[in-house]
Amino acid sequence: MTVESVELFRVRMPLRHPHRAAHGTEDERASILVHVVWNGSDGWGECPALARPTYTAEYHDGAWAVLRDHLVPELLARSALFAGGTVGHPMARGALSDAIWDAQLRGGDESLLGYLGLDAVPVPTTTVVSLADSVDTVLAAVTAAPGPVKVKVEPGHDVEPLRAIRDAFPDRSLAADANASYQPDRESHVRALEALDELGLRYLEQPHPGIVANGQLATRLRTPICLDEPIDSVDAASLALSVGALAVLNVKPARVGGVGAAVELVRWALTHEVDAFIGGMIETGVGRASAAALALLPGCTLPTDLGPSARYWDRDVTPAIIADAAGCLVLPTGPGLGSPPEPDRLAEVTVERLTFRR
């Protein structure tokens, strides 16, 4: 295999609506797009690390530096992907490996779905509702959503909005994501989680940080516990399952090191009878198309968090990913992991660009 060149694009795109979760609020999205030329074929990947290291340890400026100073030079020097050298940094690493995989698929004129043996059918979704100070704001967002919803919660913004939603929509598939914001030794936090347990949630995502405390919580709640932040590998998922902390697994391809690592985790979940779904990082169309395709894997037993381009952007960097009338995503067809960026839009949103050649 020969990677002939690598380009890094640092992009900034305004979000249509601020995204507020327990780890912070984003109203503009910075992301890194990676372009490789591999054996004459173009490939694209995305590193969607957040602006600050509040979700996982990786963050935008750090990922840019580790790509620029370590991962890309190592790749070009060795012609082998990640044999030794830099450890960690799964989002940065995943962007490079996805770009190479995209180029390989394009070189073979094959789509990701074709490679995985999946039919190109519309992808059912869950709408993620941001934190808001007003219960009415949260209720309005749920009312506007077409199907299952997952509501972001944090201590102080939890039982009241969720109870109001449950009262208004007794039969709606409803989940909550706490982004690790509840401390196991804080009595008020534990009481709030026990109150949420009364609401018939489909799952409660990452109430406590880490793994072990969530296993202990699971013994006291009926609601299935879903883990997100600490599960970056099959090894971490196996540990979580062994301590009873894992009924549902949120697989974010970027967080676990790219599309290949995500496929491995979803297959592990299927084998171990753990429910799984594909989670989103507010990627541009580059990262979102391949993530959405993985939601069709047989191990993904719950709808993905990913939404259409219009949920996030006035104009995506790729051709828009659209939703059909039922709210299902219509995937791009054609070879590769998804659609490459449109050059004029990429130029508009790029704030820094670096080129590396062998």
CA dist 47 and 59 (Å) reads 9
Q: Name the one range near Mg ion by CB under 5 A: 95-103, 133-141, 204-212, 231-239.
A: 204-212
Closest CB to Mg ion among residues 152, 189: 152
Number of residues forming the site for Mg ion (CB under 5 A):
3
**Residue 150 bears catalytic tag:** no
Q: Which residues contact 154 (CB under 8 A, 6 or more apart)?
A: 21, 22, 131, 178, 179, 181
| 230 vs 285, beta carbon nearer Mg ion | 230
Min dist. Cβ of residue 152 to Mg ion (A): 8
Q: Is 13 exposed, middle or buried (0-12, 13-18, 19+ CB in 10 A)?
A: buried
User: Order of strands, edge to edge, in the sheet holding 24-38?
Assistant: 41-47, 24-38, 3-21, 350-357
CB of 213 to Mg ion, least distance (A): 16
Angle of the 234-242 helix axis to the 259-271 helix axis, nearest 10: 30
For 92-103, b/e burial (b = at least 16 CB within 10 A) is bbbbbbbbbbbb
Residue from 7, 98, 228, 316 in contact with Mg ion (CB under 5 A): 228
Q: Shortest approach of Mg ion to residue 252 CB, angstroms?
A: 8
318: helix, strand or coil: coil
Residue closest to Mg ion (Cβ): 228
Dihedral over Cα of 246, 249, 254, 260: its sign: positive
Q: What angle do CA 86, 253, 216 make, to 5 degrees?
A: 95
**Least separation, in Å, of the C-beta of 227 and Mg ion?**
9
Applying CB under 5 A, among 58, 102, 154, 177 the residue interacting with Mg ion is 177
Closest to Mg ion by CB, 100 or 302: 302
As measured in angstroms, the least distance from the Cβ of 251 to Mg ion is 11
Given the complex with Mg ion, which of 8 and 204 has the nearer CB atom? 204
Examine residue 158 and tell whether it contacts Mg ion (CB under 5 A). Answer: no
Q: Residue 44 corresponds to which tokens in the numbers above?
A: 């694209």
Catalytic annotation present for 252 = yes
Active site residues: 152, 252
List residues near Mg ion by CB under 5 A.
177, 205, 228
